[in-house]
């Protein structure tokens, strides 16, 4: 790789949350190792558990300081402890491979998209269904459809409309697809990135993503969605854009935000 291209590559690499989380763990190792050496020289050494716990706490604090999403903090705290526990239990290596493959299939590119799995509930699905016009032939897309609950629910309530879910992670997508076939539900599930869709093909776009993805989602919707169509976000607003409507589905639950284009 040419030196002129190396700097932009490293810069883009360092913007990935997973890379920054890994660097936080590596940075936490150094003071822990220094403290362990000093403690050993003084005759009051740290136990392995204490050193690992300290590394997790430091990594969590570094993660908070560099501004990663809040859900990274418990991961950083527990990661060294999980490694210690796995080492103590002397688990077979193939088990780690299976766990890795399972998590890869479930979360896939969460490290890039910063959108973990967030399941919605039936009151949310019913509230979205209530916003649909009565006319037949509407097209609805659930962005990041997870296990397909909302898409299947809308398809059952409104067999006169086209309900689609799109999911990037393979395992949730496969589960949704098989579930739709077993239930013989008139719902369609796509595995892929919603950024490659054209929102102009849909009358309602529903998203339950994360704050990190909302600005790009709104920009795409504003560029592509047709007049009169709806963008619906559960829980996450999109400052500074004021929603046309806010719905509380149940007491104490996050709101639904609606923007009409």
- Same-domain check for residues 246 and 179: yes
Torsion of CA 130, 132, 134, 138, to 10 degrees: -150
- Same-domain check for residues 249 and 138: yes
DSSP symbols for 127-165? HHHHTS-S-TT-EEEEET-TTSHHHHHHHHH-TTSEEEE
Write down which residue in 51, 74, 91 finishes a domain: 91
- Same-domain check for residues 126 and 202: yes
Write down which residue in 70, 91, 112 finishes a domain: 91
Q: Which structure tokens are listed for 102?
A: 């399972």
Lowest-confidence segment of 9-13, 37-41, 45-49, 64-68 by average pLDDT? 9-13
pLDDT of residue 126: 94
pTM of the predicted protein model: 0.66
Mean pLDDT over the full length of the chain? 82
- Same-domain check for residues 192 and 256: yes
Expressed as residue numbers, the domain containing 63 is 3-91
pLDDT of residue 27: 87
Instruction: Answer whether residue 109 shows pLDDT above 50.
Output: yes
pLDDT of residue 111: 47
- Same-domain check for residues 134 and 242: yes
Our count of domains for the chain comes to 2
- How many degrees, rounded to 5, is the angle at CA 84 between CA 78 and CA 86? 100
Report the C-alpha gap between 135 and 141 in whole angstroms.
17
pLDDT tens digits, one per residue of 44-58: 666 778 888 888 899
Q: Which structure tokens are listed for 195?
A: 């950024």
- Same-domain check for residues 144 and 224: yes
More confident residue, 33 or 220: 220
pLDDT of residue 103: 58
Averaged pLDDT, 158-180: 90
- Same-domain check for residues 130 and 256: yes
């Amino acid at each position: 790789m040419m030196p002129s291209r190396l700097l932009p590559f490293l810069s883009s690499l360092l913007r990935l949350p997973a890379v920054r989380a890994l660097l936080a763990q590596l940075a936490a190792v150094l003071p822990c190792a220094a403290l362990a050496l000093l403690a050993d020289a003084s005759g009051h050494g740290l136990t392995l558990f204490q050193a690992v716990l300290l590394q997790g706490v430091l990594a969590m604090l570094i993660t908070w300081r560099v501004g990663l999403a809040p859900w990274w903090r418990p991961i950083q705290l527990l990661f060294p402890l999980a490694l210690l526990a796995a080492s103590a239990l002397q688990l077979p290596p193939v088990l780690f491979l299976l766990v890795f493959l399972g998590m890869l299939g479930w979360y896939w590119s969460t490290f890039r998209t910063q959108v973990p799995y967030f399941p919605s509930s039936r009151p949310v699905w019913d509230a979205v269904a209530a916003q649909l016009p009565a006319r037949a032939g509407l097209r609805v897309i659930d962005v990041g459809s997870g296990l397909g609950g909302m898409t299947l629910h809308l398809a059952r309530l409104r067999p006169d409309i086209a309900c689609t879910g799109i999911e990037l992670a393979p395992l949730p997508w496969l589960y949704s697809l098989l579930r739709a076939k077993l239930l013989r539900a008139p719902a369609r599930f796509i595995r892929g990135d919603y950024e490659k869709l054209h929102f102009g093909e849909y009358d309602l776009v529903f998203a339950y993503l994360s704050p990190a993805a909302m600005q790009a989602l709104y920009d795409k919707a504003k560029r592509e969605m047709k007049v009169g169509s709806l963008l619906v976000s559960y829980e996450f607003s999109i400052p500074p854009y004021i929603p046309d409507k806010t719905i509380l589905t149940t007491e104490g639950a996050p709101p639904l935000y609606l923007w009409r284009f």
